[in-house]
């Protein structure tokens, strides 16, 4: 979507801000529904939720491809694809947890998912730009539908659910509504910053109050012996809470930078979709380089060190980006900064989730997976919202300075992530591993004779990690 901003806005007779709203709503729907989506897997089955999510996503992609205006695009891309993603992502992580019961092999499986997730996020602009340049932006959505169809065909044969669904499992509908409404109001408040200051403050305060109401309802249900949407135990672990903050900031910065740079290249520099995607290859290579070495890096340095290093490199990358494009108009000026940003983000994606997942035992893995994905996607939606709001707010006299201000704001937020990472313990205790159920085996080729426990990766620690965003 980022590299198709100009093409979509011209074809649908809308504005850059309109496309930004569509992107933000998509990310927000994912963040708001990821936790309920995770809970539904217990009731209806992991494979069924995966299949239904893929089908809804495919319908949304096809509707987006034929959309005559922005409203239909929002329905297809932002709503249907967002709902589909919220249903299909949790089963991926929950099935991985169930099928890889050995902690070490599970860590490597999550590491592979994390690496491919980061690479996909960075390679998306290049793929989307290539299709848009060669055919049209509508063809990019048709391509998505074809990929979804292929996954559906493969999943019929290769995806298995080791546990039967439990139709009697209670679902906290009230909690799901409260959590979703609270998150929606928060991001809507950020989006309203360029229109009305009081509206922005009102929406943010309302969102915060709804989320407080949600957490009070969680405690009330637990005291009554009922099952809430989320266990309050997930928020009593300091290490996990700090890890969730670093996850949120990482995706906020990655998506925020992607949106700002894409808009700058197309609106200010006048580059087309393929040129924009080609320039973003630098970030893709950075994420690819660090993600593929995640396990080896974790064997040499602690998870905390890798997260700190990732934030430092990312901040340096933003500074280098701003300096070079300020002194040169050549395309090469974009490459070093974007490469460093990708390198930094890729370095910390895997260890951040590993810190969170490893803070809990088997009984809470499903819930913490859903919460982790929701926090990451909330960061993505906030990144697009904050960056887009700064760009259209008219805080500076020239467009170039508005884009620079947005990048500076993202660097400041990355500094906050660096502070949170610095407070992580250097060697957090590994979560106790539950005994493997009878007949359970690890996937071929992913198990060692004696897999180490997932820990912070200090001296003698594990090199595994959790999933991406």
On the question of pLDDT at 67 being above 90, the answer is yes
pTM listed for this prediction: 0.74
Q: Is 242 exposed, middle or buried (0-12, 13-18, 19+ CB in 10 A)?
A: buried
Highest mean pLDDT among 198-212, 352-366, 417-431: 198-212
- Give the residue-averaged pLDDT of 446-467: 34
Residue 264 DSSP symbol = I
- Give the residue-averaged pLDDT of 25-37: 82
Using one digit for the tens of pLDDT, what is the confidence trace for 319-341? 999 999 888 888 888 889 999 99
Cβ of 149: how many Cβ atoms within 10 Å? 14
- Buried residues in 294-329 as b, exposed as e (16+ CB within 10 A): bbebbeebbbbbbbbbbbbbbbbbbebbbebbeeee
Alpha helix positions (H), 328-364: 335-357
Distance from C-alpha of 112 to C-alpha of 92, rounded to nearest angstrom: 12
| The CATH fold of domain 2-161+237-422 | Growth Hormone; Chain: A; (1.20.1250)
**Residue of 188, 242, 233 lying closest to 215 (CA atoms):** 233
Instruction: Check: CB of residue 274 under 8 Å from CB of residue 13.
Output: no
- Give the residue-averaged pLDDT of 178-193: 80
* Strand spans (E) along 248-397: none
- Give the residue-averaged pLDDT of 256-261: 88
On the question of pLDDT at 444 being above 50, the answer is no
**For residue 249, what is the enclosing H or E element?**
helix 238-263
For the record, the structure tokens of 425 come out as 């313990």
On the question of pLDDT at 453 being above 60, the answer is no
Using one digit for the tens of pLDDT, what is the confidence trace for 80-128? 999 999 899 888 877 887 787 765 676 677 767 776 776 776 677 778 8
Instruction: Check: CB of residue 261 under 8 Å from CB of residue 406.
Output: no
Instruction: Check: CB of residue 162 under 8 Å from CB of residue 436.
Output: no
Confidence band of 244 (pLDDT split at 50, 70, 90):
very high
Determine the angle formed by the axes of helices 103-134 and 81-99, rounding to 10 degrees.
150
Q: Where are the domains of the chain?
A: 2-161+237-422, 173-228
Instruction: Check: CB of residue 451 under 8 Å from CB of residue 272.
Output: no
Q: How far is CA 442 from CA 105, 164, 451, 461, in A?
A: 7, 19, 11, 21
- Give the residue-averaged pLDDT of 155-161: 87
On the question of pLDDT at 155 being above 80, the answer is yes
**229 contacts: CB under 8 Å, gap ≥ 6:** 35, 36, 39, 172, 175, 176, 179, 214, 218
Distance from C-alpha of 288 to C-alpha of 453, rounded to nearest angstrom: 26
Place of tokens 């490597």: 108
**Residue of 59, 54, 1 lying closest to 25 (CA atoms):** 1
**Residue of 413, 393, 412, 390 lying closest to 403 (CA atoms):** 390
Q: How far is CA 468 from CA 3, 76, 395, in A?
A: 22, 25, 34
Using one digit for the tens of pLDDT, what is the confidence trace for 4-15? 888 898 899 888
**Residue of 309, 370, 390 lying closest to 343 (CA atoms):** 309
> Residues for the chain: how many in total?
469
- Give the residue-averaged pLDDT of 260-278: 81
Residue 437 DSSP symbol = P
């Amino acid at each position: 979507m980022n590299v198709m901003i100009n093409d979509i806005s011209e074809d649908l007779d809308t504005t850059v801000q309109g496309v930004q709203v569509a992107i933000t709503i998509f990310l927000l729907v994912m963040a708001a529904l990821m936790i309920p989506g995770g809970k539904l897997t217990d009731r209806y089955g992991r494979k069924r939720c995966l299949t239904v999510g893929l089908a809804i996503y495919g319908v949304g992609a096809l509707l987006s491809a034929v959309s005559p205006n922005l409203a239909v695009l929002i329905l297809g891309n932002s709503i249907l694809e967002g709902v589909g993603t919220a249903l299909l992502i949790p089963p991926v992580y929950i099935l991985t947890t169930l099928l890889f019961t050995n902690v070490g092999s599970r860590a490597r499986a999550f590491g592979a998912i994390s690496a491919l997730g980061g690479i996909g996020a960075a390679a998306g602009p290049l793929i989307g730009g290539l299709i848009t340049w060669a055919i049209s932006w509508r063809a990019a959505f048709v391509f998505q539908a074809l990929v979804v169809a292929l996954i559906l065909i493969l999943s019929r044969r290769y995806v298995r659910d080791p546990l039967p669904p439990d139709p009697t499992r209670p679902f906290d509908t009230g909690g799901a509504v409260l959590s979703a409404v609270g998150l929606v109001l928060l991001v809507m408040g950020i989006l309203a910053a360029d229109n009305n200051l009081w509206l922005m403050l009102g929406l943010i305060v309302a969102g915060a109050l709804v989320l407080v109401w949600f957490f009070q309802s969680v405690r009330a249900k637990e005291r009554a012996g009922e099952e809430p949407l989320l266990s309050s135990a997930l928020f009593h672990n300091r290490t996990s809470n700090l890890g969730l903050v670093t996850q949120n900031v990482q995706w906020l910065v990655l998506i925020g930078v992607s949106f700002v740079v894409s808009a700058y290249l197309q609106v200010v520099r006048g580059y087309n979709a393929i040129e924009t995607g080609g320039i973003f290859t630098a970030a893709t290579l950075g994420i690819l380089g660090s993600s593929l070495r995640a396990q080896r890096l974790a064997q040499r340095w602690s998870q905390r060190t890798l997260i700190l290093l990732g934030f430092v490199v990312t901040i340096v990358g933003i500074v280098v980006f701003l300096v070079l494009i300020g002194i040169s108009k050549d395309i090469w000026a974009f490459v070093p900064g974007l490469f460093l940003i990708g390198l930094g983000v890729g370095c910390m994606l895997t260890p951040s989730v590993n810190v969170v997942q490893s803070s809990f035992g088997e009984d809470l893995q499903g819930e913490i997976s859903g919460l982790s994905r929701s926090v990451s996607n909330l960061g993505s939606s906030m990144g697009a919202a904050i960056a887009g709001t700064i760009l259209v707010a008219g805080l500076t006299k020239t467009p170039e300075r508005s884009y620079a201000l947005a990048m500076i704001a993202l660097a400041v937020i990355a500094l906050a992530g660096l502070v949170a990472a610095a407070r992580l313990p250097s060697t957090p205790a590994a979560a106790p591993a539950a005994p493997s159920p009878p007949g359970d085996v690890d996937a071929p080729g992913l198990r060692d004779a004696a897999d180490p426990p997932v820990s912070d990766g200090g001296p003698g620690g594990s090199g595994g990690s959790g999933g991406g965003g």
